[in-house]
Amino acid sequence: MSTQRVVIITGTSKGLGAAMAQQVLDANTTLFAIARRDNPSLAALADQQGATLHALQADLSSAAGMQTTQEWLQHALPRTAQHYWLINNAGTVEPIAQANQLNDAMAIQQALQLNVGSAIALCATLLAATDASAAERRILNISSGAGRRSVAGWGVYGATKAALDFYTQTLAMENHPRLRCASLAPGVIDSPMQSVIRQQKVSDFPDLQRFLNLHAEQQLSSPEETAAHILRHMGSDVFGSTLLDDIRRYL
């Protein structure tokens, strides 16, 4: 049986990535789920929905993990689908520190690889695998408002998201037929990343109190709600018309 839609999502073990993976499943979809940790509930849901699931545990913050993932996709991706979606969701907010304390070279390197390098590499893999087909391709890079407005303590995180925005603009200006792409800020979500943020010291992250207040006042969007908005937008006719986008424009 031919596959109508192929969807690749990174960071599917928890948070927004897990929610998007769960919601995209249907009988016409083959999902490639990539994460450092397994998500057993996703396999059970795929069986229930009649969807085809291929899951890979890989660390996209390392060159070795990225190479393994690319080789896996190159061999496993169906070549006859009508639609291909890539959602580069995996990311890290760490290291969080003021500029004079950003001295962990390994943490910086891993953040650059995960937040930017993995997205670039997976885009290349998808495009190369589908260039010869007549299928529609859609690429969504999960960005952040931190890449468009500087936040003290987020020098690395903001720089990686700004780089992802720039890469998406470059991708759009190149000649890739039947491709729509966007770099999308998802808003403030009640996710594991938010838990990491709330555990920081004010000396490293001066905006800490604002995030504590958002959590205390229940102003954070749920991963499930945000995932639904994102997937609806990604499947719409307007997707890609705004390259540097924000899901809150469509609520």
Hey, which residues are catalytic here?
Answer: 157
Q: What are phi and psi of 236, to 5 degrees?
A: -85, 165
Total length of the chain: 251
DSSP helix/strand/coil, 141: strand
Do 11 and 69 form a contact (C-beta atoms < 8 A)? no
Cis link prior to 192 (omega < 30° from 0)? no
Distance of CA 91 to CAs 137, 145, 182, Å? 22, 14, 17
The single residue listed with the structure tokens 């928890």 is: 14
Residue 64 is encoded by which pair of tokens?
Answer: 């070795």
Q: Which of 72, 73, 77, 90 is nearest to 35 (CA)?
A: 90
Sheet of strand 136-142, all strands in order from the earlier edge strand to the far edge:
52-57, 29-35, 5-10, 83-88, 136-142, 179-185, 244-246
